[in-house]
Amino acid sequence: MGKERHPCVYILASQPYGTLYIGVTSDLIARLWQHRNETVEGFTGRYKVHRLVRYELFGDMERAIAREKQLKRWHRQWKINLIESENPDWHGLAAGLGMPPVDLSQSLDGS
């Protein structure tokens, strides 16, 4: 029996109104773990962008990828408005998926 896939687009933030990252994956929990543990070098590790502030589930990866591309073209304020439409206080949503909350002391390094 194969692993169940759940295509989704997600938005990470370094802190409220901080640096944003938009990604797409078929395994959100595994991808969040990779971001948090910086197992893949890149943007999210460099800028400590680890807090899940929004995600959208899709029935297939093609639609998820199309949505990711759309959001990446959006102006920053539109992305902020989208996040705040369902998460006005910028709560970390990973805890609701069974993950421990992000340690904010790692994100607030003064940079």
Give me the residue spans of the domains in the chain. Answer: 8-107
| pLDDT over 90 (residue 82) | yes
Enter the pTM of the model. 0.88
The CATH classification of domain 8-107, taken from the options 3.40.1440, 3.30.70, 1.10.10, 1.10.8 = 3.40.1440
Res 102: pLDDT: 72
How far does Cα 16 stand from its chain's mean position? 13
Res 103: pLDDT: 65
107 Cβ partners below 8 Å, 6+ apart?
14, 15, 18, 48, 50, 51
Res 109: pLDDT: 39
For residue 1, the tally of other CB atoms under 10 A from its CB is 3
| pLDDT over 70 (residue 31) | yes
Res 41: pLDDT: 85
